Amino acid sequence: MDEISQLLRIARLEARLDTRCLLGGSTTMEPGPRAPREIPFHVLLEGECDLEVGGTLHHMTAGDVVIVTTGERHRIITAGTGPKRSIAIRDSATFSIKTSDDDREPVIDLFCGHYTVGAGAGAILFGSLPAPTHVSLFNDTRGRHTLGGLSELMRAEAEHDGTGSAAIMSAFCTVLIALVLRTAAATPNAHGRLWTAVPDPHISQIIQEILARPADRWSLEGLAAQSSMSRATLIRRFRTATGMTFGQFLTRARLMIAADLLDNSDRNIAVVAAEVGYQSESAFTRAFRSATGQTPSDFRRAPRQGTIAATDYLP
């Protein structure tokens, strides 16, 4: 199994489309607050707008996807002259439709939804992505073709809005996150890089091998020799490609897999620790508690009580 498919499997995410926004110019729309572990996303199928998160504007054009990985409050802004327009809301069977309160042609077609992630692997995965994660799926031919087809399906299903539409839209949104995670065209910025979409083939191979065999005794020296490069070169290339150190990635990979094992197997904690490369149960417990805010025992007893904010403590 490839790394993106494996990450999404262990993240145990659920996807939901909440709103379709057909907004005119000079309109501001603020989505409501989210519960812990609900991660908002926005995909712009047509037009241009700005997404303001934490006082910073992120300009979106057709084909852009933004995932607000922290779940914080944000707002959508369309350009235009004249007074700001209010928003009319119409509920449908599957989602709500928001429009500006006039009869003018909309300037954007924006789909908004959220991912609900597990307290362990899902929270660690989304917490390791840039905040926010902003990618353009139209930056390459494959992305343009894939999103173009997906957008037509989403629009057609939105118009149908009948039996099965909620499940179908959920599936489309899951496809969307897979596209985002594999998009190497993500533009690095002050918020970080998309480590799941590494363009460096040597670093990508290392990531795949670690996810497949987390218990191995991984070392920079061994991986550098395997990749025919110096240790210093590997350190530099890994940081450039992923935006994190090798040690940070190794910890996150091991803990994501450990959370999946705790949640979906009856292995005892010492066995889980060994299977992801920890030499002692106590060292594993310390690392897991730093990542999720819970000990492995507490996580197993109440796996849905963690929050994504806990990933801020990852080394």
Q: Could you tell me if residue 305 is inside a domain? A: yes
User: Can you point out the beta strands (E) in the chain?
Assistant: 14-22, 28-29, 38-46, 48-53, 56-61, 64-67, 74-77, 87-91, 96-100, 109-116, 133-136
On the question of pLDDT at 178 being above 90, the answer is: yes
Residues 54 and 99 grouped into a single domain: yes
Q: Is the domain of 30 the same as that of 167?
A: yes
Q: Are residues 133 and 212 in the same domain?
A: no
pTM of the model: 0.87
- pLDDT recorded at residue 192: 60
Confidence of residue 193 (pLDDT cuts 50, 70, 90): confident
How is residue 51 written in tokens?
A: 């997404």
The predicted structure's pLDDT at residue 315: 41
Q: Which pLDDT score, from 0 to 100, does residue 250 have?
A: 96
**173 and 208 co-located in one domain:** no
**Domain tally for the chain?**
2
Above 60 in pLDDT, residue 309?
no
Asked if residue 23 and residue 158 are part of one domain, the reply reads yes
Last residue of a domain, one of 136, 151, 181: 181
188 found inside a domain = no
Per-residue confidence (pLDDT) for residue 36, from 0 to 100: 82
* Backbone phi and psi for residue 53, each to the nearest 5 degrees, phi listed first: -130, 120
The percent of residues above 70 in pLDDT, for the chain, comes to 92
What mean pLDDT value characterizes the chain? 88
Helix pair 246-264, 231-242: axis angle to 10 deg: 60
pLDDT > 80? residue 305 = no
For the cut 60, the answer to whether the pLDDT of residue 308 exceeds it is no
Q: What is the mean pLDDT of residues 105-111?
A: 95
Lowest mean pLDDT among 39-43, 138-142, 206-210: 138-142
Please tell me whether residues 134 and 24 are part of one structural domain.
Answer: yes
134-144, pLDDT tens digit by residue? 999 887 777 78
CATH number for the domain harbouring residue 75 = 2.60.120.10
In a domain? residue 189: no
Q: What is the mean pLDDT of residues 109-123?
A: 90
Domain with 92, as residue range(s), is 3-181
Residue 21 falls within a domain, yes or no?
yes
Residue 260 has pLDDT above 70, yes or no: yes
* Residue 162 tokens, joined: 């009948």
**45-74: per-residue pLDDT in tens?**
999 999 999 899 999 999 999 999 988 899
Which CATH number covers residue 236? Answer: 1.10.10.60
Calculate what percentage of the chain has a pLDDT beyond 90. Answer: 60
186 in a structural domain: no
Grouping H, G, I as helix, E, B as strand and the rest as coil, residue 215 is coil
Strand 87-91 vs strand 96-100: parallel, antiparallel, or unpaired? antiparallel
1 pLDDT above the threshold of 90:
no
Strand pairing category for 48-53 and 74-77: antiparallel
- The answer to whether residues 237 and 202 touch, using CB atoms and an 8 Å cutoff, is yes
Q: Are residue 116 and residue 227 in the same domain, yes or no? A: no
